[in-house]
Amino acid sequence: MRRLPAEFEPQSFVQIIFPHPGTDWAPYLEEARQNFVAIAEAIARFQPCLVVCDDIDEVRAYFNDTENLHFAAYTADDTWARDCSGITVYENSEARILDFTFTGWGGKFDASRDSAMTVALAPRYGAPVETIPMILEGGGIESNGAGLLLTTSECLLNPNRNPQMDRAAVDAAMQTHFGIEKTLWLEHGYLAGDDTDSHIDTLARFIAEKTIMYVRCDDTEDEHYEALRAMEAELLALRDEQGLPFTLIPLPMCDALHYDGERLPATYANFLIINGAVLVPVYSVAQDDAALKIFANAFPGREIVPVDCAVLVRQHGSLHCVTMQFPEGVPLRS
């Protein structure tokens, strides 16, 4: 029997991929690297962080204190660890890392090296790696750790992913690979500037077995208003296996951020839960303080750590997108 643990369960480490000159971060590489340093250092205060990078000596020099930081040499295409890293399940209480195919969100970008990364790094993981011939990104699914999975039709049923699979086939695959008893599908919700076809981790997240945090838009003039209100109605209508509704915690929609004439997919839902803390993306906008207060109330037992992601979001992702947690039972090997 397999089980997909929730992010709020105990973790072994978090993996990130450090920007190199061959990535799309090149026009502002140093700014981006400082953002990744801030994320890695915030993680390392609480637990180990594995930094995947093209040049270990060069990247190590960015850090004053490397305690709890580990480094692995690999040249990736980009830095979106959430979507190209392995996804860990428990099978009869033993950890197993599932390596799905990553195609750059349906072939939008070259991702061949990203997709090959998990197998290349397998010797560093203290758990077996199993290759799954299915296109899937970690940002496209949310687990409550108890048999429920939350996702969007726009992503998992998009013909640019697994065109041979209908909803029933995807439901069956989620049961087979993750032990999911029920998949909760959202038909609405999007963010302008998003390359992922509405990844769930930009919109709605499990923070407890029966509690979902989600983005709400109250500005009727905002382009997201109708879609996010429709998503909110769907979330209110969702029921668990016992037919009970979920506790819902709304997050504010932050002021519009633009770069090179494009609106960016800035969202507070792209947070990262780690051991003893929650890392929250902030964007130097008016809603940051209100969002942080919501997190403090929702996570009374964890430290709330804001991380400025105004640079990170220029490449159309945020904090959760560049991280992947590995749960308890996957020790790092040297």
106-143 pLDDT tens trace: 999 999 999 999 999 999 999 999 999 999 999 999 99
Dist CA 12 CA 329 (whole Å): 7
Q: pLDDT band for position 82 (50/70/90)?
A: very high
Share of the chain above pLDDT 90, in %: 98
Distances, alpha carbon 161 to alpha carbons 42, 112, 262, in Å: 33, 15, 25
The reported pLDDT for the residue numbered 199 is 98
| Distance (Å) of CA 292 to CA 31, 198, 296, 334 | 24, 24, 6, 36
What mean pLDDT do residues 198-205 have? 98
Q: Is the pLDDT of residue 31 over 90?
A: yes
Give the tokens for residue 35: 């953002």
* Per-residue 3-state assignment (H helix, E strand, C coil) for 16-31: EECCCCCCCCHHHHHH
Q: How many domains does the chain have?
A: 1
Q: What average pLDDT does this structure show over 45-67?
A: 96
The yes-or-no verdict on residue 270 having pLDDT over 90 is yes
Looking at the domain assignment, is residue 332 inside a domain?
Answer: no
Confidence at 295, pLDDT banded by 50, 70, 90:
very high
Task: Give tens-digit pLDDT for 218-265.
Answer: 999 999 999 999 999 999 999 999 999 999 999 999 999 999 999 999
Q: What is the structure's pLDDT at 4?
A: 98
The DSSP annotation for 75-99 comes to --SS--HHHHS-EEEEETTEEEEEE
Return the amino acid letter for 176: T
Q: Is residue 194 part of a domain?
A: yes
Domain that residue 223 falls in: 2-327
Task: Name the one residue in this structure whose structure tokens are 């490449």.
Answer: 315
- 196 confidence band (pLDDT: 50, 70, 90): very high
Q: Evaluate whether residue 333 is within a structural domain.
A: no
**Residue 334 pLDDT grade (very low, low, confident, very high; cuts 50, 70, 90):** confident
- Please indicate, yes or no, if residue 163 is contained in any of the structural domains: yes
**pTM given for the model:** 0.96
Compute the C-alpha angle 242/246/251, nearest 5°.
165
pLDDT for res 115: 97
pLDDT of residue 19: 98
Are 321 and 270 in contact by the 8 Å Cβ rule? The answer is: yes
In the predicted model, what is the mean pLDDT of the chain? 97
Structure confidence at residue 1 (pLDDT): 87
Report the CATH number at residue 12.
3.75.10.10
Would you state the structure tokens that stand for residue 228, as one six-digit string? Answer: 């996010």
Q: What percent of the chain has pLDDT over 70?
A: 100
pLDDT tens string 158-176: 999 999 999 999 999 999 9
Q: Give the max Cα distance, the chain.
A: 54
Q: Give per-residue pLDDT as tens, 140-151.
A: 999 999 999 999
